[in-house]
Amino acid sequence: MKAEIINPFLESARIVIEQVISVSPSTGDLGIKNIEVVKDDIWIQVGMTGQLSGNVVFGLKETVALKIVSAMMGGFVLTEMDEMGKSAISELSNMISGNASTILYNQGVNVDITPPKIVSPQDDPQFFSEKALSIPLLMDGIGELDIQVMIS
């Protein structure tokens, strides 16, 4: 896997997060790792087809997702991840992935994305055993969003 594959997703995530929740994220360390299954984490999968095929997975703690969704909803505080919250956090991953596919297209790489879906280890245990290029985005006062790219 080439590390530069994750850069369009990183660039897009910074832009979208800044626009949607008014926080400028910083980046953690890039690495290759297995997706770590932690209780109360939320995983959103967006598939890629075209010149790149695979998945982008956004992972975050439920408490972080609640803070992000609350910020997306203009400060309306959510205390549990209900259907509206899941829809909002899925839409955030869709916005990031859509922007990233545009960045890739402008670099000469044609990629289509699939609609986001929330996945869990119970639904697809094999999926959670794959290695991914991974980089965390650190958001002051909110927490961490892991971006993991798996290209086949």
What CATH code would you report for 3-151? 3.40.1550.10
113-127: pLDDT as tens digits: 999 999 876 666 666
pLDDT of residue 99: 96
Domain boundary assignment for the chain: 3-151
- Give the integer Cα–Cα distance in Å for 46 and 43: 10
Read off the DSSP letter of residue 15: H
pLDDT of residue 131: 81
The per-residue pLDDT of the chain, averaged, comes to 88
pLDDT of residue 3: 67
Terminal C-alpha separation, the chain:
9
- Give the integer Cα–Cα distance in Å for 102 and 112: 9
Reported as type and span, the H/E element at residue 26 is strand 26-27
77-125: pLDDT as tens digits: 888 899 999 999 999 999 999 999 999 999 999 999 999 999 876 666 6
- Give the integer Cα–Cα distance in Å for 146 and 76: 24
pLDDT score of 63 more than 60: yes
Residue 114 half-sphere exposure, CB side, CA atoms within 13 Å? Answer: 16
Measured between alpha carbons, how far is residue 140 from residues 22, 27, 45, 88 in Å?
A: 11, 11, 24, 20
Determine the average pLDDT of the residues in 9-23.
94
Tell me the Cα Rg of the chain.
14
Q: What angle, rounded to 10 degrees, do the helices at 7-21 and 83-106 form?
A: 130
